Amino acid sequence: MPAKIITFVTMKGGSGKSTSAMCLGAYWHKQGAKVALIDADPAGTLVRWIEAGEDLADLAAATAGPGTVEKQIDAFLKDGFETIIIDTPGFQSEATDAAIRRADLLLIPMRPSPIDYQVAADTAEHVARLSSAPVRFVLSQTTRGSVIARHMRAQMEDAGLQPMNVEFPARVAYGEAALAGTTPSYYQPRGAAAAEIAQFAAETDRLLSRRRAKAGKASETV
């Protein structure tokens, strides 16, 4: 099967982009998948995260910037990685655009607030100009069952935007795990955060499988 490239993108910091990218990559790595991370954010969050502990020491990760994102993707593909996850800057850049163009799936994390919603919608419009890959929104730092989270989800659906079913509630487990250089999948494998990450990975995998199936049908038609 061809490798899968997942790009996390948003034009606003503090959305949970790096956290969701790391948690997804670490989950699949723990399951034995050959996954690699590309840290295209100048903050270097993913690389610093891995270096802070031991659980993720053998998780493949590399930094990339303007002009080098596609080269790093190709390098990982040459090395036989099955899944490549890209964390992009929280602003528009050449690196962001390169990661968008190469993606098989684009995930836009957002907090449940009107400002974050507008930025996420603007990000989706920018993505659509560069890629025909599926786009999904990921609600993060939510309070489960809150009025604002339900309102944001309904607003997205009314606008024809597609939020993922899974949400990432605000939990101390994410911050505690990051402090130790790990993720809840390792830190508290039976906890609620680890269960959310597993659901996130399963839903993401279904989206990628659906895209591969469509691509297969299209090639048969040609």
Helix (H, G, I), strand (E, B) or coil at 121: helix
Whether residue 174 is predicted with pLDDT greater than 70 in this model: the reply is yes
Domain contains 162: yes
Helix axes 94-102, 69-78, angle to 10 degrees: 40
The CATH number assigned to the domain holding 55 equals 3.40.50.300
> 């100048």: which residue's tokens?
42
- Please, are residues 7 and 73 in contact by the beta-carbon 8 Å criterion? no
The b-or-e profile of 139-162 (16+ CB within 10 A means b, else e) is bbbbeeeeeebeebbeebeeeebe
Distance CA 135, CA 125 (A): 10
pLDDT of 217 strictly over 90? no
**Is residue 222 scored above 50 in pLDDT?**
no
**Rg of the chain in Å (alpha carbons):** 16
Element (H, E) at 65: none
Is the CB of residue 33 less than 8 Å from the CB of residue 82?
Answer: yes
Say how many domains are in the chain. Answer: 1
Can you give the residue range of the structural domain that contains 206? 4-216
Give the pLDDT mean for 134-159. Answer: 91
221 within some domain:
no
- Among 37, 20, 109, 30, smallest CA distance to 72 is for 37
Q: Is the pLDDT of residue 141 over 90?
A: yes
pLDDT of the residue at 163: 94
Which tens digits make up the pLDDT trace of 80-124? Answer: 999 999 999 988 899 999 999 999 999 999 999 999 999 999 999
Alpha helices in 131-191 (DSSP H): 147-158, 172-179, 184-187
Among 200, 152, 156, residue whose Cα is nearest residue 174: 200
Looking at residue 216, its pLDDT comes to: 56
| Of the candidates 31, 16, 40, the residue with the CA atom closest to the CA atom of residue 164 | 16
What gap in Å lies between CA 31 and CA 25, rounded to an integer?
10
Residue 222 resides in a domain: no
Domain assignment present for residue 92? The answer is yes
Taking the C-alpha atoms of residue 29 and residue 144, their distance in angstroms, rounded to an integer, is 28
0.85 surpassed by pTM: yes
Q: Is the pLDDT of residue 211 over 60?
A: yes
∠ CA(95), CA(169), CA(51), 5° rounding?
50
Q: How confident is the model at residue 13 (pLDDT cuts 50, 70, 90)?
A: confident
Could you report the per-residue pLDDT of 20-52, keeping only the tens digit for each? 999 999 999 999 999 999 999 999 999 999 999
Query: Would you say residue 138 lies in a domain?
Result: yes
pLDDT tier, 210 (very low <50, low <70, confident <90, very high otherwise):
confident
Q: Which percentage of the chain shows pLDDT scores above 70?
A: 94
What are the residues facing 84 on neighbouring strands? 5, 36
Pick from 12, 35, 168, 20: nearest CA to 89: 12
Supply the pLDDT for residue 212: 67
pLDDT band at 219 (very low <50, low <70, confident <90, very high): very low
Q: Does the pLDDT value for residue 218 go beyond 70?
A: no
Mean pLDDT score of the chain: 92
